[in-house]
Amino acid sequence: MTGKVRYPREIWVLVGASFLIAVGFGLVAPALPNYATSFDVGITAASVVISAFAAMRLLFAPLSGRLVTSFGERPVYLWGISIVAAGSLACAAAQEYWQLLLFRSLSGIGSTMFTVSAVGLLIRISPPELRGRVNGLWGTSFLLGSVTGPVLGGGLVALSLRAPFLFYGGALVAVTVLVWAQLRNSTLAARPADEHAPTMTFRQALGEPAYRAALTSNFASGWVVNGVRTSLVPLFVVAVLHEPSSFAAIALAVFAAANAVVLPAAGSLADRLGRKPLALGGLALLTAGTVGVGVTGQLWVFLVASAVSGVGSGALNPAHSAAVADVLGVKARGGTVLAGFQMASDVGGVVGPLAAGAIADGGSYAWAFALSAGVVAVALGLWIRAKETLPARVVTVPA
């Protein structure tokens, strides 16, 4: 087969929405701690506001999965974005700390609703032979939005601490209208007409080795990438490398750049070679990079290890996301299956910093990063035993 790959229009709608959502999240994240303390509360109370968002995502993920199974992906996606929009606008209007905490918590509920449903929509819309590429495109859009958001947010914070929340809420209202208008008549995004479409439960999915491996690798990714990278690396830069704290931003940027460069190619390779080779290669590189960060005292080695970790994460993400889509299939309803996959990353992002931070406090950073690398290695072991899920009829697709 030759020719240029053509994605369904609906995929570009979801990818564009993902970028705008990520930009908005990047807008409010830097402003939130200072905004919270402006209500005359301490650092701990400000941290609770940040943690509440993640906690609500984690607690309500199972309910989001059941909503997707019952009502379909498209309405839950729109409901979720609408809740985050309303919560963000309410945060901008908050007059007391408890109001900010409540509205930010509600935003976390909406966040998990649109995240779970968005993955389900991508599975429904994406042809099996393009799942890896679509997941790579999706991941790239969110990553670029996350990088763009803080840059724009700096200017808004200079105007007012409330301005990022107003801008984010307004942008999400626009995204909701845009997605509704573009997908309301889409047959691809619509729920199957067959009301007897099979439902895959979380327990049934656990019977698939590839799903168990994907759960573990997403947990490991959440632990290392979403958790330890953002919590421990900035401290490591100051305590071990004896560099100013501002240098941590450079290290995080190196990781993000390597991740963004690799994601599109990794998605394509996952569709051509299979999910398993990319998952194995990504986990191996993420293990090596995590160990390298923890054992070095040299700046250049640290940056190389950060880049290796970024490459590993970029190779892994499209592969294990596509494997989950393969296990679920296009027609099956499996909201709890998707919610479980998301929760694995969220749990890793919560547990990782706590466990690694405790070890760094009581022992050394080297042991903390070694533990994190060990978690990734466990996922690598499960992927070695997992079966390839790429449909046999689409082993080769256009470049």
Q: Does 297 fall in a domain? A: yes
Domain identity same for 150 and 225? no
Both 128 and 216 in a single domain? no
- CB hemisphere CA count around 38 (13 angstroms): 14
Last residue of a domain, one of 129, 155, 183: 183
Q: What distance in Å separates the CA atoms of residue 166 and residue 332, rounded to the nearest whole number?
A: 38
Q: Is the pLDDT of residue 4 over 70?
A: no
Distance CA 201, CA 158 (A): 48
Domain that holds residue 310: 202-390
> Are the beta carbons of 137 and 268 closer than 8 angstroms?
no
| AA identity, residue 41 | V
* Residue 80 is assigned to a structural domain of this protein: yes
List, for residues 136-183, the tens digit of each pLDDT value.
Answer: 888 888 888 877 877 776 677 778 888 889 999 998 999 999 999 988
311-338 pLDDT tens trace: 999 999 999 999 998 888 765 567 888 8
Task: For residues 208 and 171, state if they share a domain.
Answer: no
Q: Are residue 79 and residue 222 in the same domain, yes or no?
A: no
How far is 229 from 222, CA to CA, in rounded Å?
Answer: 10
Looking at residue 193, what is its pLDDT?
59
From residue 321, alpha-carbon distances to 43, 227, 301 in Å are 36, 19, 30
Q: pLDDT by residue (tens digit) across 34-70?
A: 888 888 888 677 777 877 887 888 888 888 888 888 8
Q: Is residue 345 part of a domain?
A: yes
Chosen domain end from 148, 183, 218: 183
> What distance in Å separates the CA atoms of residue 264 and residue 202, rounded to the nearest whole number?
29
Q: Which candidate, 176, 195, 186, places its Cα nearest to that of 71? A: 195
213 and 170 part of one domain: no
Mean pLDDT lowest for which of 63-67, 193-197, 288-292?
Answer: 193-197
pLDDT band at 246 (very low <50, low <70, confident <90, very high): low
- Residue 177 shares a structural domain with residue 214: no
Cβ–Cβ under 8 Å, residues 107 and 79: no
- The CA–CA distances, whole Å, from 271 to 12, 319, 341 equal 19, 9, 20
Q: Is 359 among the domain residues?
A: yes
Q: Indicate if 249 and 176 belong to the same structural domain.
A: no
∠ CA 345-348-379, nearest 5°, is 80
C-alpha radius of gyration, the chain, whole number: 20
Q: Are residues 158 and 281 in the same domain?
A: no
Residues 6 or more apart whose Cβ sits within 8 Å of residue 338:
65, 68, 116, 119, 120, 123, 324, 328
Measured in residues, the chain has a length of 399
Query: Cα(120)–Cα(68) distance, rounded to whole angstroms?
Result: 8
Residue 396 pLDDT level (bands cut at 50, 70, 90): very low
**176 and 206 in one domain?**
no
What is the mean predicted confidence (pLDDT) over 11-20? 89
Q: Cα 54 vs. chain centroid, distance in angstroms?
A: 12
CB neighbours of residue 208 within 10 Å: 20
**Mean pLDDT value across the chain:** 85
Residue 105 sits in a domain whose CATH number is 1.20.1250.20
Q: Which of 156, 183, 210 is the last residue of a domain?
A: 183
At CA 289, angle to CA 285 and CA 293, rounded to 5? 175
Total count of domains within the chain: 2
